[in-house]
């Protein structure tokens, strides 16, 4: 037990250093983690790291899906719902069919059910990998919104394909009409379970005397409650978690206090980062184990099959994205669409961003060890190896070349005419004007005899004047220097305040708790200044 704990703590430390390395060399961290895990996996002295296939979905999937749901914009999700829905369901099913027939035709002894099993495993792209690449390059926000929305739902459809295909292989029977009926039942009841559990947590958050710590813990309990309940009744746990997460995140402002939201965001960002890091590292660490199980004679053929299917996966997605663009132009003649002329540049980038990752790994490792008769699951090692090859090819090759493709197609923002920096200034100016108007209209007589209100009124007036200056200044003619100098001086003052507070803390007359409260307030002030000018940098 102690050795296992030390091993996983060491793994987390390695993950942290690899992420810092990725930041230094400016490469998406999932790519570096996979390659780092691959290198570590082939070192003989490194202990074998493995995860129980029965538990991998339960450990990783619910929190990762829930965090993604909380980070997803419901506004963008609804705007692009048709595109998201088509790629999350129709394209996943189409990709699974293509992979099933190609693998069945090129791999000796590979049956169609095994082909559909492989298709269900490798058909869903991974949004974490794509968004981590997009974070460092300039792409239209619609691409990120669609990629994130697609990843929330495509996991459900791919896992349903995986479930039916695995059951067919294990038990040897398949009924198409029953499968179609079960498909819609699994999805519909997954939605119902997600909403039902979410309503329970909604009531607890809103009407029970919770604290920020209790609220945060409840957000960790919720995804597991949704997932386990849905899976217990053989419905889609993925749909349940995504539905419940979207429902609660859209209402977080009314069911949680500001401290709960701040604490929850920080805790979830850390937990999500660690879980994603572990899974991407496992991708590399598990590959040498699978290679040993294949044997030297089968390795060459397995690599060949993996590369062929990787190419099929990439080409199929590109054809689907470009084909969906043509279909959108056609269908816009009959219905209203979010964009009737999507062109070819954005679909090409979106298609190339189809890197596979976390869910594909979890699905592959959860393939049963035995079938119903007690015999080993056929082609299990080959299926897992091909999955690893597809993940490596799409993640490393497409991930490293995606920035070059974005630069080549030269995409501009297509949905927001006003830049983010100008939007930020407009909103802050309107908020300050509204606040100042409210005070002057409702508390005009109170202002002369209340120094705190006078200070607040002066601050609002100063903020409006400052924002007017920022709006009118030319970024190429001193505007940026103006903001940069303000940030520098503010940071300098905050640092001096921290030094003074630490000096106070050495004196017996000041309580340590009071000093910590002031230090925490300075941290919030520094973050506020950073966020205020984030879009202007």
Residue identified by tokens 């000796």 is 108
Distance CA 81, CA 148 (A): 12
| pLDDT on residue 478 | 47
Alpha helices in 172-295 (DSSP H): 176-207, 212-232, 237-249, 252-255, 258-294
In whole angstroms, what is the distance from residue 537 CA to residue 493 CA? Answer: 21
Token pair, residue 95, equals 């990709």
Distance from C-alpha of 390 to C-alpha of 367, rounded to nearest angstrom: 17
Q: How far is CA 470 from the centre of its chain?
A: 34
360: which 2 tokens?
Answer: 């594909």
Which H/E stretch holds residue 68? helix 56-71
pLDDT at residue 250 greater than cutoff 80: yes
Residue labelled with tokens 């940030």: 487
What is the rounded CA–CA span in Å between residue 456 and residue 537?
28
Torsion of CA 508, 510, 515, 517, to 10 degrees: 140
The CA distance from 28 to 400, in Å, is 8
For 298, other C-beta atoms within 10 Å of its C-beta total 15
Query: Smallest Cα–Cα separation from 28: which of 155, 111, 132, 149?
Result: 132
> In the chain, pLDDT over 90 holds for what percent of residues?
20
Q: How far apart are CA 511 and CA 509, in angstroms?
A: 7
* Cα–Cα distance measured from residue 116 to residue 159, given in angstroms and rounded to the nearest whole number: 11
The torsion angle over the Cα atoms of residues 325, 331, 332 and 333, rounded to 10 degrees, is: 140
The Cα–Cα gap between 111 and 51 comes to 27
Burial track 50-87 (b if 16+ CB lie within 10 A, e otherwise):
ebebeebbbbbbbbbbbbbbbbbbeebbebbeebbbbb
What pLDDT does 181 receive? 80
How many helical (H) and strand (E) elements, i.e. helices and strands, does the chain have?
23, 0
Check whether 127 has a pLDDT greater than 70: no
Tell me the CATH number for domain 2-409: 1.20.1530.20
User: What local confidence, expressed as pLDDT, does residue 296 receive?
Assistant: 60
Single pTM value for the model: 0.81
pLDDT in tens, 153-187: 887 788 788 888 888 887 776 666 777 787 788 88
Task: Identify the residue with better confidence: 479 or 446.
Answer: 446
Phi/psi zone of residue 315: left (φ > 0), alpha (ψ -120 to 50 degrees), beta?
alpha
pLDDT higher than 50, residue 1? yes
Q: How confident is the model at residue 336 (pLDDT cuts 50, 70, 90)?
A: confident
> Does the pLDDT of residue 476 top 50, yes or no?
no
Q: Which of 165, 150, 158 is nearest to 120 (CA)?
A: 158
Sketch the domain layout of the chain as residue ranges. 2-409, 420-536
pLDDT at 227: 93
């Amino acid at each position: 037990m102690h050795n296992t704990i030390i091993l996983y703590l060491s793994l987390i430390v390695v993950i942290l250093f690899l992420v810092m390395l990725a930041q230094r060399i400016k490469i998406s961290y999932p790519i570096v983690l996979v390659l780092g895990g691959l290198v570590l996996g082939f070192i003989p002295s490194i202990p074998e790291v493995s995860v129980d296939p029965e538990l991998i979905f339960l450990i990783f999937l619910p929190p990762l899906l829930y965090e993604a749901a909380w980070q997803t914009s419901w506004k963008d999700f609804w705007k692009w719902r048709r595109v998201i829905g088509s790629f999350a369901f129709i394209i996943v099913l189409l990709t699974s069919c293509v992979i099933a027939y190609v693998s069945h035709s090129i791999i000796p002894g590979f049956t169609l059910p095994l082909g559909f099993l492989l298709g269900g495993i490798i058909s869903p792209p991974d949004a974490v990998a794509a968004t981590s690449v997009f974070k460092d390059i300039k792409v239209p926000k619609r691409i990120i919104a669609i990629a994130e929305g697609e990843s929330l739902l495509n996991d459900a459809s791919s896992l349903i394909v995986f479930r039916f295909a695995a059951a067919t292989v294990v038990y040897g029977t398949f009924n198409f009409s029953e499968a179609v009926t079960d498909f819609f039942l699994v999805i519909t009841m997954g939605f119902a379970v997600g909403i039902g559990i979410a309503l329970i947590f909604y009531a607890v958050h809103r009407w029970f005397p919770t604290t920020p710590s209790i609220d945060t813990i409840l957000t960790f309990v919720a995804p597991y409650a949704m997932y386990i309940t849905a899976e217990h009744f053989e419905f889609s746990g993925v749909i349940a978690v995504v539905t419940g997460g979207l429902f609660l995140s859209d209402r977080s402002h009314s069911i949680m206090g500001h401290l709960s939201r701040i604490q929850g965001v920080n805790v979830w960002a850390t937990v999500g980062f660690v879980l994603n890091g572990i899974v991407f590292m496992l991708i590399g660490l598990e590959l040498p184990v699978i290679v040993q199980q294949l044997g030297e004679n089968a390795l060459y053929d397995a690599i060949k099959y993996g590369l062929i299917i990787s190419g099929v996966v990439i080409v199929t997605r590109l054809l689907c994205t470009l084909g969906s663009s043509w279909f959108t132009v056609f269908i816009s003649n009959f219905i209203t669409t979010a964009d009737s002329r999507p062109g070819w540049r954005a679909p090409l980038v979106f298609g190339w961003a189809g890197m596979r990752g976390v869910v594909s790994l979890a699905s592959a490792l959860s393939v049963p060890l035995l079938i119903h008769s007690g015999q080993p699951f056929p082609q299990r090692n080959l299926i897992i190896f091909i999955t690893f090859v597809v993940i490596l090819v799409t993640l490393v090759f497409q991930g490293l070349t995606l920035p070059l493709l974005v630069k080549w197609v030269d995409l501009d923002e297509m949905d927001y005419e006003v830049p983010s920096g100008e939007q930020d200034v407009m909103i802050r100016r309107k908020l300050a004007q509204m606040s100042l108007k409210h005070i002057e209209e409702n508390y005009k007589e109170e202002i002369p005899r209340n120094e705190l209100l006078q200070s607040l009124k002066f601050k609002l007036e100063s903020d409006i004047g400052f924002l007017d200056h920022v709006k009118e200044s030319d970024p190429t003619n001193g505007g940026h220097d103006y903001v940069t100098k303000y940030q520098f001086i503010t940071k300098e003052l905050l640092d001096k305040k921290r030094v003074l507070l630490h000096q106070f803390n050495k004196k017996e007359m000041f309580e340590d708790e009071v000093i910590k409260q002031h230090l925490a307030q300075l941290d919030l002030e520094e973050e506020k200044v950073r966020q205020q000018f984030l879009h202007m940098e």
